[in-house]
């Protein structure tokens, strides 16, 4: 495995040349998080981020073949078990919000091992092969993929059904997606648009919202659960608290934030911000 990491990190260095726009976008994201850092320091952090992402890809490939119990040994610590239990005991399902931070796929597998049924909300990829590969990966571990599109903006019936069965609906929210509506929230000092869909869904169903992340620490991974954030009549308030959790954890692990687009849509700008120059990462919601 050390050899695989070494080879992957070499490929990460090559990515600086092959994906210049992705590198530029990464530095802009880091500039927002690491405010006041010099250009040289931001470039060094970007290099570390690319190397971390290469290690993530090695682990992702490895987990496709390892037995589940061997995979779960990679999670060496877990913060927030009581929060997860509290949310599950409400019996209304759970809406789990996360980001392209650390190893989000491992998070679904870990929660599934705790006896929770996991549904991952994702947008259709331009490459059908990527869709098929990640769906097979999840199915192998008992995780269901729900794909959204223009004709079914929230796949509302399927999502509500999962919550009514006390299951978990998980989604990534650190990329702008027009299918889910917008809600403007301050994020690292900027007003940006986040998807309103999960908060509307929480209000409709009564399902609590939690945030969850699985991040690399030393030779293993650490699970983090925060919340719950309950939506009653104050959608904006719950959304702010969830985004604050997102911001707090990205600030702790900025070199594990694998968002190769320029963050989410910044309010007041026309259209989406520039996309990355390569398919380094799956475009999931």
Cβ 30 vs Cβ 42: under 8 Å: yes
User: What pLDDT was estimated at residue 46?
Assistant: 93
Q: Give the span between the Cα atoms of 285 and 279, in whole angstroms.
A: 15
3-state secondary structure of 48: helix
Measured CA to CA, the distance from residue 50 to residue 180 in angstroms comes to: 29
Mean pLDDT by 10 residues, the chain (285 residues): 64 66 89 94 93 88 83 92 96 96 90 92 64 70 76 69 95 76 89 90 95 92 95 90 97 94 53 33 37
- Supply the pTM of this predicted model: 0.85
| Chosen CATH of 67-256 out of 3.40.1010.10, 3.30.420.140, 3.40.50.360, 3.40.1110.10 | 3.40.1010.10
Domain boundaries, the chain: 67-256
Q: ∠253-259-264 over CA atoms, to 5°?
A: 110
Dihedral angle computed from the Cα positions of residues 121, 127, 133 and 134, in that order, rounded to the nearest 10 degrees: -20
Closest C-alpha among 98, 247, 253 to residue 172 = 98
Which residues are CB-contacts of 73 (< 8 A; sequence separation ≥ 6)?
none
Closest listed residue to residue 240, CA positions, set 196, 271, 179, 175: 196
């Amino acid at each position: 495995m050390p050899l695989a990491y070494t080879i992957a990190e070499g490929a990460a260095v090559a990515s600086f040349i092959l994906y210049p726009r992705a590198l530029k976008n990464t530095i802009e994201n880091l500039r927002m998080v690491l405010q006041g850092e010099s250009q040289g320091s931001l470039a060094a952090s970007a290099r570390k981020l690319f190397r971390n992402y290469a290690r993530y890809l090695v682990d992702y490939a490895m987990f496709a073949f390892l037995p589940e119990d061997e995979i779960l040994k990679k999670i060496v610590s877990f913060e927030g078990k009581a929060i997860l239990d509290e949310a599950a005991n409400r019996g209304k399902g759970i809406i789990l919000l996360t980001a392209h931070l650390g190893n989000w796929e491992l998070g679904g597998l870990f929660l599934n091992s705790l006896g929770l049924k996991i549904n991952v909300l994702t947008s259709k990829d331009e490459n059908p092969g990527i869709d098929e590969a990640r769906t097979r990966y999840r199915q192998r571990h008992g995780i269901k993929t729900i794909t959204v599109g223009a004709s079914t903006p929230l796949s509302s019936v399927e999502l509500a059904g999962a919550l009514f069965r006390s299951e978990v609906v998980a989604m990534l929210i650190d990329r702008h997606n027009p299918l889910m509506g917008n809600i403007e929230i301050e994020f690292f000092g900027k007003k940006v648009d986040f998807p309103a869909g999960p908060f509307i869904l929480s209000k409709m169903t009564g399902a609590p919202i939690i945030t969850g992340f699985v991040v690399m620490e030393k030779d293993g991974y650490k699970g983090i659960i925060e919340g719950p954030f309950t939506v009653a009549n104050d959608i904006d308030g719950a959304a702010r608290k969830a985004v604050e959790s997102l911001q707090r954890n990205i600030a702790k692990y900025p070199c594990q934030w694998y968002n190769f687009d320029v963050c989410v849509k910044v309010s007041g700008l026309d259209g989406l911000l520039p996309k990355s120059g390569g398919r380094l990462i799956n475009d999931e919601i």
